[in-house]
Amino acid sequence: MIDVSLRIEQSFALYHERTAVCLGGVRHSYGDLQRRVLAIQSLLESASAADEPLIGLAANDSLDTYAAVLAILRAGRAFVPINLQHPAQRNASILGQAGVRTVLLPVAEAPETARGGIPPGIRLVPTQGDSSAIAGPAALRAPGDLAYLLFTSGSTGQPKGVPITRGNLSAFLDSLAASGHGVATADRVLQMFDLTFDFSIASYLAPLSVGASIYPLAPGGAKFAEVYRLLEAEHLTVAPLVPSVLTYLRPYFADILLPDLRLTMLCGEALFADIATEWMKCAPGSRIANFYGPTEATVFAMVYDWNPAAGHDKAFNGVVSIGRPMPLNAAVVVDASSQPVAIGEKGELCLGGPQVTPGYWQDPPRNAGAFFERRDGGEIRRYYRTGDIVSADVDGDHYFCGRVGNQVKLQGFRVELGEIEYHAREVARGCECVVLSRVNRSGGTELSLIVENYSGDLKAVLAALRTRVPGYMMPARALSVARLPMNSNGKIDRVALRRTLDEHSDEVSRTSVGGTDAGIP
């Protein structure tokens, strides 16, 4: 396996004059990017201690953000991305759990102005330094060393850390290339994702490792509109997207024609077959690849190429198949006893292979339940329990059928509803809270908050909740009920609550507060 830093070094050497990053119409070559990487690496090494393996990064859409990622990796460290627009409490929790002592700040504001949720004891290092500074050679690291640490939603109210090693990342890059869905040097690639979302790795790190060009969205405005503008104006050839982008573009499909687009990479949400079919008319030369994978398996580990001829034969409840394991990866569908189920039967999807994380960050109890070993042929392979219920057909293609627990996908992010409920109970003065998800008329996932016997202002509850969770985790509406219904097992009857929501739809809409800008991370 070739380390990601060595892949980037090769891009610097071979494609010095080629565009690496195009931001707001301004093109930055690989030579420009390399100069910023070396400057930031030099700045990092002078400002931080040698024994700091994890470096925080206040990520945004700037050349220095991408340069900072590469500089951290080149210095032999691992990056922990945060978004200063997310609640301060959440950012402080992430940095505290990771033990971060230094945060790189590639923003224009003064360090203290942009501190956000960064605790006072953490060193802030603005990246605007001397571009003539020269860093040493790229540090060589073992496959078991960390590349990055991402935090996903946790049911206890605290985000949970998912460490990805350099070996995990190298395996992902190799698997993507071997799958036939890799990025080529000549490609122009859309980058629409927050760097706290692991799909971004496929949008910027994979292209930069082969000398391709990335096109991040310009800040501000409606994201889906900017996606279309970039695809058309810059003649982009690869578009990593969450399916909700297609949902929002759907009313304009008749006016969209993207002859240069050769690959549409979809991941993070359910892809509906009818939308996939319609998108083919907008991008007649594009292959539509539906990827699947949790953060714990390094971005994605399975793929299905949409085939309109197969149509709904390769869909379940209208949702396109998530396909088969990519090269180097393995999948098994098991029952409650961790035994493989028969073809066509439903069970929990488990993923194995070199992309699987070594385990949750400093959380042995969670690891004990999430990972197991089984013998595959003549070898023992370690598997991760995804929590997704699937079935497989005779061709080996898999179909998503639901969740084992109480977790949903929102705008590509995996979210534990229990985390939202945890914070909602606190802001609702201890009242019992339930969060339900359902597909709205636009085909996106929408959350509703139900609070038991609450006499206060629900709008105030939602406003307070907004200070604790990111926008993509915010319920779109709220309702108070006298008592939460219970089923025969003594558990909250969520089916009955859904009926209650439907019955009180008018009342619910009057308490609605905000949401997300366009259903896109």
Contact (Cβ atoms closer than 8 angstroms) between residue 433 and residue 421 = yes
Report the relative pairing of strands 379-392 and 398-403 from DSSP bridges: antiparallel
Let me know if the fold of 4-219 is the same as that of 328-403: no
Q: Please name which of 368, 325, 327, 328 lies closest in space to residue 349, comparing C-alpha atoms.
A: 325
Which residue, 290, 256, 258, is CA-closest to 273? 290
CATH hierarchy code of domain 412-510? 3.30.300.30
Dihedral, CA atoms, 256, 304, 170, 370, nearest 10 degrees? 120
d(Cα 127, Cα 102) in Å, to the nearest integer? 12
Q: Which letter does DSSP use for residue 137 in this model?
A: S
Which run of H or E residues covers position 42? helix 30-47
Per-residue pLDDT of the chain (521 residues; tens, 9 = 90+): 899 999 999 999 999 999 999 999 999 999 999 999 999 999 999 999 999 999 999 998 899 999 999 999 999 999 999 998 888 899 999 999 999 999 999 965 555 556 667 888 899 999 986 666 677 888 889 999 999 999 998 767 788 999 999 999 999 999 999 999 999 999 999 999 999 999 999 999 999 999 999 999 987 766 888 999 999 999 999 999 998 889 889 889 999 999 999 999 999 888 889 899 999 999 999 999 999 999 999 999 999 999 888 877 899 888 899 999 999 999 999 998 999 999 999 999 999 999 999 999 999 999 999 999 998 878 899 999 999 999 999 999 999 988 887 678 888 887 888 889 989 988 998 888 999 998 777 777 889 999 998 989 999 999 999 999 999 999 999 999 988 887 644 567 888 998 888 887 655 544 444 333 222 33
Residue 173: which residues within 8 A CB-CB, separation 6 or more? 4, 7, 205, 206, 209
Q: Which fold has domain 4-219?
A: Rossmann fold (3.40.50)
Q: Could you please state the CATH topology (level 3) that the domain comprising 328-403 is classified under.
A: Luciferase; domain 3 (2.30.38)
Nearest Cα neighbor of 291 from 355, 217, 346, 344 is: 355
Tell me the sheet residues that pair with 323: 398
For 475, other C-beta atoms within 10 Å of its C-beta total: 29
Work out whether strand 54-58 and strand 102-105 pair parallel, antiparallel, or are unpaired. Answer: parallel
- Taking a C-beta distance cutoff of 8 angstroms, is the pair 240, 267 a contact? yes
Delimit the domains of the chain by residue range.
4-219, 328-403, 412-510
Mark 287-314 as b/e (b = at least 16 C-beta within 10 Å). bbbbbbbbbbbbbbbbbbbbeeebeeeb
Residue whose tokens read 């006072």: 120
Q: Which two tokens stand for residue 285?
A: 């030369």
Taking alpha carbons only, the member of 95, 55, 73, 80 closest to residue 166 is 73
Nearest-angstrom CA–CA distance, 196 and 97: 16
Half-sphere exposure of 33 (CA within 13 A, CB side): 35
